[in-house]
Structure 1
Amino acid sequence: MLFLGLLLLLPLMAGACLLWGQWKLRSLHLPPLAPGFLHLLRPNLPVYLLGLTQKFGPIYRLRLGLQYVVVLNSKRTIEEAMVRKWVDFAGRPQMLSYKLASQGYPDLSLGDYSLLWKAHKKLTRSALLLGIRNSMETVVEKLTQEFFERLRTQASAPVAIQKEFSFLTCSIICYLTFGDKIKEDNLIHAFYDWVQEVMKIWDHWSIQILDIIPFLRFFPNPGLWKLQQTIEKRDYFVEKQLRWHKESLVAGQWRDMMDYMLQEMALPRVEEGSGQLLEGHVHMAAVDLLIGGTETTATTLSWAVAFLLHHPEIQQRLQEELDLQLGSSASGSWVSYKDRERLPLLNATIAEVLRLRPVVPLALPHRTTQLSSIFGYDIPEGTVVIPNLQGAHLDDTVWEQPHEFWPDRFLKPGKSPRVLAFGCGARVCLGEPLARLELFVVLARLLQAFTLLPPAEGALPSLQPQPYFTTNLKVQPFQVRLQPRGVG
């Protein structure tokens, strides 16, 4: 009887909340409302949301559970909110899944905006740009070289390239975050397995539905139990690394990002009222770097291979550019990332893959920190805002032939529109410099050493993402043959 009563009470509570919310907003000029409750269950969600602009314009509202969300579908609306009015839109909604994932730790990616969050972001960004500035490219090069030595043993045989890329990017971010000891302790596979596990559980409907109907957390949920177990495993791994780093720390020196952050967190904050950074901030910075630095870059590399299998003429031109600038793979010649302008077509190809398949196509949702407005529409304080990055990249008022894979658009005279694949404003992806370095190095090495071929005649990968939406825009599983290129 109690269970039945709760089920009857739930819709009454939902209706009351909706009516109260509408009454409070009665005097505001809000974006148009797209009717319906099931929009977010649509396949190919970013493209579907872009399609709604034909009727409602580039900014509109959707109902998500007991609240409304605002969707931004154009470059202009996204940059207006996230860049020009970034203070108003820098918040993060405190959804139940976010609280479960952070387990009380101060999270960077999922944390709400505050002066302490700003200091946390600065600490992590400094670790990437200053703490490992001199070792980042060296580590990427070294691990990429080892990666290709493994691939050569599988030459001409079908390879599940996504898994290979994923392990490579996980190895790189583990080395940069935790140092060489991660290999000595043979922990890279453990971290890799954990990242795969947490991403799978996080995207499962049993977790995502809790953000729409939080009350369901009080009911039995095997997915929730698995998430909690995975987070406990995560914290055990990271705490072990923290203990070792503290015990072996040498003042004024740092071997990796964790060393750097542990020393920097103790310094007084310049901004008054920001509060003190604690060890928990370093803990969650490491977690965010591991998750953000593994699947996103690996997925972009996989999309690049898929597009080049469909466009062998682009692949041939890329190899001609590499041969002209570097010689064959046997020559051992390499171009530094700072000299990447020597490979304009490679840069254009990376930009085009990021445009068509931004890995986090709807970013992570933002929240307004105060009443604001976008192009004449009022956006109330506390509103959840979703920037449709992929929709902005497919806007035919900005991009010529937006659905076509055409890297040459970035080689035309004049300044090309900005690709928003890493977001923009206060919440821009902190790992963008590392991701761009990895994309450049891995693709250049790959195309210098191998010709990419389908596993069988006509067996091309699908260029449509996995149909139902997850945080990352995942490529459907495929294989590729890596044919070694001739010497000389």
Structure 2
Amino acid sequence: MRLQHHGRCPLPPGPTPLPFIGNLFDIPTGRSWLGWLSHAKRYGALTYLRMFDTHIIALNDPQAAVELFEKRSAVFSERPQLVFGGEMCGWKDTLALLNYGAKFRMYRKELHQILGTPIAISKFHRLIETETRRFLVRIVNDYNTVQDNNRNVDENRSILKHIQTSVGAIILRIVYGYTLDPNIEKHGRHDPLIALAERGVGQISMAAQPGAFLVDLLPILRHIPAWFPGAKFQQTAQHFRETVMELVEKPYIFVQNQIATGSADPSYVSELVSKYISVNASGLLTPEQEQLIKWSASSLYTGGADTTTSAIQSFFLAVITHPHVSRRAQAEIDAVCVTENGDGVKVARLPTFRDREKLFYVNALVYEVLRWAPVAPMGIPHVNSEDVEWEGWKIPKGSLVLANIWAYSHDENVYERPAEFRPERFLGTTQSSSTLSSQHENLLDHFSNAGMTPGSFSRHSRDLDPNET
């Protein structure tokens, strides 16, 4: 452990850096959130590391995150400038990488119409319920196929694939009015737009990780030609850039064609196009308006699909590995959704969003899923625009600041036996359980999604699947 001074206050504690490269080998990789949790336990509220000339601060205390990201949001609203993901691959205009400014505010304003509040998302409840039922049908069909043929399900029919397809179908319908053929997977085919979107999400997940590519730490490397030994990242960037352009343009062109033929379904893009055209004297979109529509729409998919898919995956993992939890949740659903008809015959139905207020244990289960396996364990990286002092520690200007959400949600001082999956911790009418739920809601609001971002789709629709499965 070392303490360094940077001006009047010392830098936060952290591992001892090496000359020139700093803490390059101390940066957690793989399941990085576990490494950051280890740092948190050793160094306390703040952890400081340095990679070359880049300062990295992990906020391990939720109060620190509230103080800095919320109360001093004007200082901590910048995003890291990623040479590889932003400039070389072309993702610089996606919301997650935009610095705070006029463009950022406009993106958020328009996106707020769709996912800013539970009321805003409620108009899509029927769509979500329909796609969830289709998801369940695909799962049942695969199970029957396995039983009939005594074989394993292939990769393209795995539960993960079905989750990705269902989440993608919902978001594409909301954003672009694009309807996925519900029978396409039955014939061994895959929707081309879903496939494109999944490829784009996978690539941005790789490209946008701070420090994942050496060129982000040494920007001069971007000038190395693609044929030079060790410059494979140049070819990767070109390949990713082609996907970016296709992902931004192709679904937008689809909507424009639908509008031209009068067959466009209501969607985020069609509503924005109509809104801007109605106020433009020319009756046409300006280049700036087209740019905003294209990139805010693609941001909604890339920001929402991955987080929502991750949350639903974690739900399945939790109920499969904790069968007693599954049984209790099913019993509650049966109590709400199974009734007797006039002949005394029990009739079951699938739950809907209207049933949520009656499903106390299922709601607690969803809270526990998001605590036990946060969809963004280290949040969205921030950069401070000026030197900041907090509790006697110095956070140098331009630091990469991370909210250690995994540490918050596994804090033994807040959550008893945090490694255990126990929905009961959010259940009941006691002050402690209600306070815990409120605190956890704030964690999701302020840190996991950094306020209102595309990832909020996951938060406001967090009962997308569990209530029905």
Aligned to 1:372: 388
How much does 1:230 deviate? 1.4
| Structure 1 residues 378-398: Cα deviation after superposition (integer angstroms, max 9, x where no partner) | 323322111111111111122
How much does 1:71 deviate? 0.8
Q: Which of 241, 262, 272 does residue 254 from structure 2 map onto?
A: 241
Q: Which of 329, 334, 346 does residue 323 from structure 1 map onto?
A: 334
Task: Say which SS state the counterpart of residue 444 (structure 1) adopts.
Answer: coil
Relative to structure 1, is the Cα distance of residues 150 and 33 closer, same or farther in structure 2, using a 3 angstrom cutoff?
Answer: closer
Aligned to 1:486: none
Aligned to 2:291: 280
Task: Say which SS state the counterpart of residue 71 (structure 1) adopts.
Answer: strand
1:404-423 equivalences under 5 Å are 404-412=420-428, 413-414=430-431, 415-416=435-436, 417-419=439-441, 420-421=443-444, 423=446
Task: Say which SS state the counterpart of residue 38 (structure 1) adopts.
Answer: helix
Q: Which structure 1 segments of 5+ residues have no match?
A: 1-21, 269-275, 447-488
Q: Which of 158, 166, 173 does residue 164 from structure 2 map onto?
A: 166
1:187-266 equivalences under 5 Å are 189-204=191-206, 208-219=213-224, 220=226, 221=232, 222-244=235-257, 247=260, 255-264=266-275
Q: Which structure 2 segments of 5+ residues have no match?
A: 17-22, 147-151, 227-231, 280-286, 341-345
How much does 1:120 deviate? 1.6
Distance in 1 of aligned mates of 2:191 and 2:272: 24
Aligned to 2:458: 435
| Structure 1 residues 291-334: Cα deviation after superposition (integer angstroms, max 9, x where no partner) | 12222111211111111111111111001000001118983535
Distance in 2 of aligned mates of 1:133 and 1:248: 28
How much does 1:248 deviate? 5.7
| Structure 1 residues 155-212: Cα deviation after superposition (integer angstroms, max 9, x where no partner) | 353652111111100000001111146659x998223222332344345589633322
How much does 1:257 deviate? 0.8
Q: Which of 81, 86, 108 does residue 68 from structure 2 map onto?
A: 81
Distance in 2 of aligned mates of 1:421 and 1:61: 24
Relative to structure 1, is the Cα distance of residues 314 and 369 closer, same or farther in structure 2, using a 3 angstrom cutoff?
Answer: same
Q: Which of 365, 368, 384 does residue 352 from structure 1 map onto?
A: 368
Aligned to 1:145: 133
Aligned to 2:173: 175
How much does 1:367 deviate? 0.9
Which shifted more, 33-42 or 167-176? 33-42
Query: Is contact 1:365–1:386 with CA below 8 Å preserved after alignment?
Result: yes
Task: Say which SS state the counterpart of residue 96 (structure 2) adopts.
Answer: coil
Aligned to 1:396: 412
Relative to structure 1, is the Cα distance of residues 227 and 125 closer, same or farther in structure 2, using a 3 angstrom cutoff?
Answer: same
Relative to structure 1, is the Cα distance of residues 431 and 137 closer, same or farther in structure 2, using a 3 angstrom cutoff?
Answer: farther
How much does 1:67 deviate? 0.9
Relative to structure 1, is the Cα distance of residues 103 and 95 closer, same or farther in structure 2, using a 3 angstrom cutoff?
Answer: same
Q: Name the % identity.
A: 20
Query: Is contact 1:371–1:378 with CA below 8 Å preserved after alignment?
Result: yes
Query: Is contact 1:62–1:69 with CA below 8 Å preserved after alignment?
Result: yes
Q: Which of 82, 93, 102 does residue 106 from structure 1 map onto?
A: 93
The residue type paired with residue 260 of structure 1 is E
Which shifted more, 147-156 or 289-298? 147-156
Tell me, yes or no, if structure 1 residue 293 matches structure 2 residue 315: no
Distance in 2 of aligned mates of 1:91 and 1:198: 24
Relative to structure 1, is the Cα distance of residues 385 and 249 closer, same or farther in structure 2, using a 3 angstrom cutoff?
Answer: farther
Query: Is contact 2:112–2:452 with CA below 8 Å preserved after alignment?
Result: no
Distance in 2 of aligned mates of 1:428 and 1:266: 30
| Structure 1 residues 121-144: Cα deviation after superposition (integer angstroms, max 9, x where no partner) | 111111335996563101101111
The residue type paired with residue 445 of structure 1 is E
The residue type paired with residue 225 of structure 1 is Q
